[in-house]
Amino acid sequence: MIPPRLPPPDRKILPVWDIFATAVVVLLIAFAVNNVITNMSLAGATPGFGFLWQNAGFDVSEALIPYSPENGYYRVIIVGLLNTLLLAVVSLVLATALGLLIGLMAVGPSPIGRIAASGYVEVFRNLPKLLILLILFVTAVNELPHVRSAVGFGGFYLSNRSLYFPTLVFTPQIWGVLASMGGAILLALLMQSRLKQHRIKTGKALPMLGACVPCVLLLPVLGAWVLDVQWVWSLPEFAGFDYKGGLRLSLQFIVIALTLGLYHGAQIGEVIRGGIEAVPSGQGEAAQALGLSRGQALRLIILPQVVRIILPSMSNQYVNLIKNTSVAIAVGYADLMSVAGTIINQSFRPLEMMLITMGMYLVICLSVTMMLNRMNERLRLAQH
């Protein structure tokens, strides 16, 4: 009998492809860098980031931090970055809300609602986002009234240039109210965990919402009353050529946020519909058989599974949405991309500017992906 033998160890082979690919990449990069240096020196420049401290010399339509054309390029880049982030957050909320509505309508009980949802999805999935943006933009500019005759609605004024809305003037007491609100939420969370322990121990469910909601609502009101807060509103008022006071959002911002909301709302709606339909109907029936109410079944059985199913696609959608804020350049909103474009045209520093811009998008997108991945993993662990 032949004694069993271990299989022969893998032959050590020379990693030809590794060496070849590395060599090609290194050579290509060297070639490109060499050409960049030669080309730039022909134009009388050397690559470097020193230009960031030169005067930008151009104004932007809107900025979240004080900015004037005398500031350096670095500052206008920050302005653009902040505008991109604001746009991303607002459109994200819009798209999620719309997607939720569309997704629920698509699986909802009303057949007419289902038709409306699928019609909406079909239209917005089959049109390029740039076209949607341009159509909305020309329509808004043509159809909305001039600033002089802006449509007003409870302190909101919409014209074909911008939307003005009232803001609260922050006084020290308001911080007190905010603090009491935070305290109330903390208290509610504490109460919730206590109630849960109580339920686990005794098997009796105490009214959770009944205890938490009044607490969260009442405490800030109490705080406001104790501190005797003066509510000061800054209201937009028409003065001369434009409105003064309040806060201003440009029409560009509104139209882009709306476009991204509509475009990604359709896709998120599809994701949510798919997620709900992917939960087997037996789950709901089993919950019913256990005696859970409809609301309980939805909250405790169906929803957690839907969230787990849709989270990977949702994180994809969110990253895509953040990347798509760059279409803002087509209507001249001063986001990161269009600021970078202006700087490239002005300073002729394409390489440096594109490195900065791509780096910033990279950091934003990768951190969002990482955050959502972590959430995904936590939900996965909660499975058993």
Partner 1 sequence: MNERLISLRDLAWSAVNTPLSLVLTLLALIVFSQVGWAAGHWLVFQAVWPWQPADLCAIHSGICWPFLTEKLRFILFGTYPYDDHWRPALASFLMCALSVQTGLQMIDRGFRLNALQTLAVWGAVLLLAFVLMAGGVLGLERVDSVRWNGLPILLILSIAAIAMALPLGMFLALARAQSRFRALARMATAYIELTRAVPMLTVLFVGIFVLPLMLPPGVKISPVGATLVALIMFHASYFAEDLRGGLQSLHKGQDEAAKALGLPYWKRVGLILMPQAIQRSLPSLVNTIIGAYKDTSLVVVLGIHDLTATARMSFSDPGWRGYSLEAYFVVGLWFFVSCAFLSVIGRKLHRKAAIG
Q: How far is the CB of 304 from partner 1 (least distance, A)?
A: 21
Q: How far is the CB of 75 from partner 1 (least distance, A)?
A: 21
330 part of the interface to partner 1, by CB under 8 A:
yes
Q: How crowded is residue 127: how many other Cβ atoms within 10 Å of its Cβ?
A: 14
For CA atoms 238, 242, 245, 248, give the dihedral sign: positive
Q: How far is the CB of 381 from partner 1 (least distance, A)?
A: 23
Q: How far is the CB of 202 from partner 1 (least distance, A)?
A: 34
Residue (258 or 340) nearer to partner 1, CB: 340
The residue within the footprint of partner 1, chosen from 86, 195, 298, 344 (CB under 8 A), is 344
Residue (167 or 320) nearer to partner 1, CB: 320
Cβ neighbours for 291, distance < 8 A, ≥ 6 positions apart: none
For CA atoms 362, 368, 371, 372, give the dihedral sign: negative
369 part of the interface to partner 1, by CB under 8 A:
yes
361 part of the interface to partner 1, by CB under 8 A:
yes
The residue within the footprint of partner 1, chosen from 51, 61, 86, 108 (CB under 8 A), is 108
Cβ neighbours for 301, distance < 8 A, ≥ 6 positions apart: 283, 284, 286, 287, 292
Residue among 319, 262, 271, 287 nearest 132 (CA): 262
CA separation for the pair 73, 360 (Å, rounded) = 15
323 part of the interface to partner 1, by CB under 8 A:
yes
Strand partners, 239: 242
**How is 94-131 classified by DSSP, letter by letter?**
HHHHHHHHHHHHHHSS-HHHHHHHHHHHHHHHSS-HHH
Residue (39 or 68) nearer to partner 1, CB: 39
Q: How far is the CB of 30 from partner 1 (least distance, A)?
A: 11
CA separation for the pair 384, 376 (Å, rounded) = 14
The count of residues interacting with partner 1 (CB under 8 A) is 62
Interacting residues toward partner 1 by CB under 8 A: 15, 17-18, 21-22, 25, 31-32, 35-36, 38-40, 42, 105, 108-113, 115-117, 122-123, 125-131, 134-135, 138-139, 142, 277, 281, 319, 323-327, 329-330, 337, 340-341, 344, 350-351, 354, 357-358, 361-362, 365-366, 369
